[in-house]
Chain A
Amino acid sequence: MDPDYHTPIRLERIDSPLKRELKELFSIDVDTCLECGKCSGGCSNAHVFDYTPRKIVQLVKLGAEETLLKMDALWICLSCQICLDRCPSGIDIPRILDHLREKARRKGIPASRPAVGLFHELMLGQIRKTGRISEIGLMLRFAAATGRYGKDAGLGIRMFLKGKLNPISAAVKKVKEVRRLYDHTADGKKA
C-alpha cells in the first residue's frame, strides 16, 4: 500500500503472499490479530516507529510488502519481544520483522538506517569469523566504519570499569561448524 492516497485500496485485489509465507514458514496467522494494539502499547520504540507493531500486522494483511521492507521500524526495532509477550493471540511479531529484514537484505533493499544495517553486518561477520561476539572488537570496528569514535567511548569505559566488557575474546573451538551453519542458512552467500 505504498501511500498513494489518491486511489483507495481495492480490497478485492489484495493478495498477500507474505501472509501465506508467514503461515507456511513459521505458522504465524495474522488473521488471529484482535486489533487491540497491546503490542504497540508495550513496544519500547513505538514512539519513533513509522509503523507501530499493530500497523505492521495490518500491513501484512493488506499485502503491503514493499512498505514493510522499506519501513524505518524494521531497523529501529530492538527485538525486545515485548510485542510478542503482550499479544493475546501470541502473534510472533519479532519473527515477522526478522523475516522481513532477511528479505530486505536478500532483495538488496538498503536499511533505512545505514548504521544499523552496518552494525548487523559487522556483528554477523564477527560471529562468522570467531563464532562469538567480542563487544570491544565490534564497537571499535563499528566506530572505525562510521568514523564516530567519540559517540560510545564514554559508555565503553563505564562498561569496562563495571566488568561488562571482556578485553580477551578467543574464538570458539569449532569455528568451522559455525561457518558451515552460515553457509547453510545464508543462501550460500557470505554474510
Chain B
Amino acid sequence: MQERTKTALVIGGGPAGMEAALRISQAGFNAVLVEKGPDLGGTLRDLHSSFPKWENPRGLIDHRIELLRKSPRVSIRTQTVITAGTRLDAGFRVRLKSLRGEGEELMDADAVVLATGFELMDVSIYGEYGYGIYPGVVTSLEFESRLRQWDHGQEEKPRGVALIQCVGSRDRSKGKPYCSKICCMYTAKQAGLVKDQFPEAQVYVFYMDYRAAGKEYEEFVRQVIEEKHVRYVRGRPAKVLPEDGRLLVRAEDTLMGIPVEAAVDVVVLASAIVPRPDTRMLAGMFCARTDEHGFIENELHEPARCADRVFFAGGCGFAVETAGALSQGAAAAAGVIALFNENG
C-alpha cells in the first residue's frame, strides 16, 4: 500500500525557514511554508548587504524563492498565521488563518519547523540615547534602510555617524544579560558602508570589546578599522544630546580614562536581539519550551529539535547571522527528513 507523502509545516519565511522547506522538499516530502508578512526573506530582506562578503543578500533570497516556487512539493502561504495547533497521535492538526480575510483552514502536519526569527528590543527605555526623541537616532535595522536610501542619493549626506554597540545587550539592569552575538559584525559592516559611500564622513563605533568569532570575521573588522578608517572608540556612551542641530555623543575613552565627545548627524543603536513575541505562544502550541527571554530551547544534545516532531532554526532560538540561520534551517530539515524516513 502506497503511504501518503509526509508533510512538514514550516513557520517563518526567513532564510532559516526557506532553507528548511527547500531541503525537506528536495528530499521528497511536502513542505508548507507559512509566512506572516507579504514576502519571503525575513529580516534579511531589509538588509543592505551582508558580512563578511559585502554582498547584496537579495541574490540569496531570490534564488531560494525561485527554487521553492518551482517545487511541486512546496506550498507557500504568505500573509498567513497559525491560530491553533493540536497534537495528534503522530503529528499535529493546525489551523491556518489568512490575513487577507479568506477565512481559516485546517491542515495536518507530520512535523513542524519553527523559524519565527527575531526582532530588536525596544530601546526607547534608554532615555540617555534619545531614541524616539531625536530623529537622528535610529536602530540598526532602521539604519539598513537609511543605507539603501543613501545608495539612491536620497536624504542629506552625513558628516558624522556614531554607531553604538551593546544597546540593551550585556545590560543586567535595564536590558538583556546576554551578548546579542551579531551586532559587532553588522555594526562594523554598517560603519564600513558609510565610509564607502561618504569617505569624508567621520564614523565612530563605540564598543566595549568587539566579538568577531567566525571565519573571516576578525579580518573583516580589522579591514573596517585599518582600510576603511572607521574610528573604534572603546567605551559605552552614556549621553546623546542635541547640539547646534547635530547630536553629541558622550562617552569615556576607557583606554585612556578620559571623557570624549563626538558631534554627529546620525546615531545608530545596535539594539539587543530578542525573539518575536509570538514565538512563545507558537512554541507552547507545539509543546516546545522557551527560556526566560522567549527564545526556543533545544532538547538536550539534540541539534535543532525542541520537542517530539518539532524542530527550530534561526533567530527564534538565539541571535544568529545569515549563514548560521541557513545552516540551522538545513539541520532542522535533516531532523524532519530523518524522522519521516524512519517511518515515524
Q: Which residues of A contact B (CB under 8 A)?
A: 1, 3, 5, 8-12, 29, 31-32, 35, 54-55, 58-59, 62
Given A9-B253, A11-B202, A11-B204, A35:B234 Cβ within 8 A: yes
Q: Among the listed B229, B259, B262, which residue makes an inter-chain contact with A12, where contact means beta carbons less than 8 Å apart?
A: B262
User: Given contacts A54-B255, A55-B255, could you give 5 more A-B pairs where the C-beta distance is less than 8 Å?
Assistant: A3-B258, A10-B262, A32-B222, A35-B255, A58-B253
Do A12 and B160 have beta carbons less than 8 Å apart?
A: yes
Do A11 and B225 have beta carbons less than 8 Å apart?
A: no
Question: Bound complex: CA of A58 vs CA of B253, how far in Å?
Answer: 10
Do A11 and B260 have beta carbons less than 8 Å apart?
A: yes
Q: Indicate the member of A3, A5, A11, A32 with the most B CB atoms within 10 Å.
A: A11
Question: Bound complex: CA of A29 vs CA of B225, how far in Å?
Answer: 11
Question: Bound complex: CA of A10 vs CA of B222, how far in Å?
Answer: 24
Do B202 and A8 have beta carbons less than 8 Å apart?
A: no
Do B259 and A8 have beta carbons less than 8 Å apart?
A: yes
Number of interface residues of B (CB under 8 A): 21
Q: How far is the CB of B152 from chain A (nearest CB, A)?
A: 27
Q: How far is the CB of A15 from chain B (nearest CB, A)?
A: 11
Do A31 and B226 have beta carbons less than 8 Å apart?
A: yes
CB neighbours (8 Å) of A3 from chain B are 258
Q: How far is the CB of B85 from chain A (nearest CB, A)?
A: 50
CB neighbours (8 Å) of A5 from chain B are 258-259
Question: Bound complex: CA of A62 vs CA of B257, how far in Å?
Answer: 13
B204 closest partner in A (C-beta) = A11
Do A31 and B229 have beta carbons less than 8 Å apart?
A: yes
A30 closest partner in B (C-beta) = B226
B263 at the interface (CB under 8 A from A): yes
Q: Among the listed A8, A10, A58, which residue makes an inter-chain contact with B255, where contact means beta carbons less than 8 Å apart?
A: A58
CB neighbours (8 Å) of A32 from chain B are 222, 226
Do B260 and A8 have beta carbons less than 8 Å apart?
A: yes
B146 at the interface (CB under 8 A from A): no
Do B255 and A9 have beta carbons less than 8 Å apart?
A: no
CB neighbours (8 Å) of B222 from chain A are 32
Do B261 and A9 have beta carbons less than 8 Å apart?
A: yes
CB neighbours (8 Å) of B95 from chain A are none
Given A8-B250, A62-B256, A31:B261 Cβ within 8 A: no
Question: Bound complex: CA of A73 vs CA of B13, how far in Å?
Answer: 60
Question: Bound complex: CA of A179 vs CA of B231, how far in Å?
Answer: 45
- Interchain residue pairs with CB less than 8 A apart (25): A1-B256, A1-B258, A3-B258, A5-B258, A8-B250, A8-B259, A8-B260, A8-B261, A9-B259, A9-B261, A10-B262, A10-B263, A11-B202, A11-B231, A11-B260, A11-B261, A12-B202, A12-B263, A31-B225, A35-B234, A54-B255, A58-B253, A58-B256, A62-B253, A62-B256
Q: Indicate the member of A3, A10, A12, A31 with the most B CB atoms within 10 Å.
A: A12
Do B226 and A29 have beta carbons less than 8 Å apart?
A: yes
Q: How far is the CB of A167 from chain B (nearest CB, A)?
A: 49
B233 at the interface (CB under 8 A from A): yes
Q: How far is the CB of B160 from chain A (nearest CB, A)?
A: 6
Question: Bound complex: CA of A10 vs CA of B231, how far in Å?
Answer: 13
* CB interface residues, B 233-266, toward A, < 8 Å: 233-234, 250, 253, 255-256, 258-264
Question: Bound complex: CA of A37 vs CA of B5, how far in Å?
Answer: 62
Question: Bound complex: CA of A5 vs CA of B260, how far in Å?
Answer: 10
CB neighbours (8 Å) of A1 from chain B are 256, 258
Question: Bound complex: CA of A173 vs CA of B225, how far in Å?
Answer: 51
Q: Among the listed A8, A12, A54, which residue makes an inter-chain contact with B258, where contact means beta carbons less than 8 Å apart?
A: A8
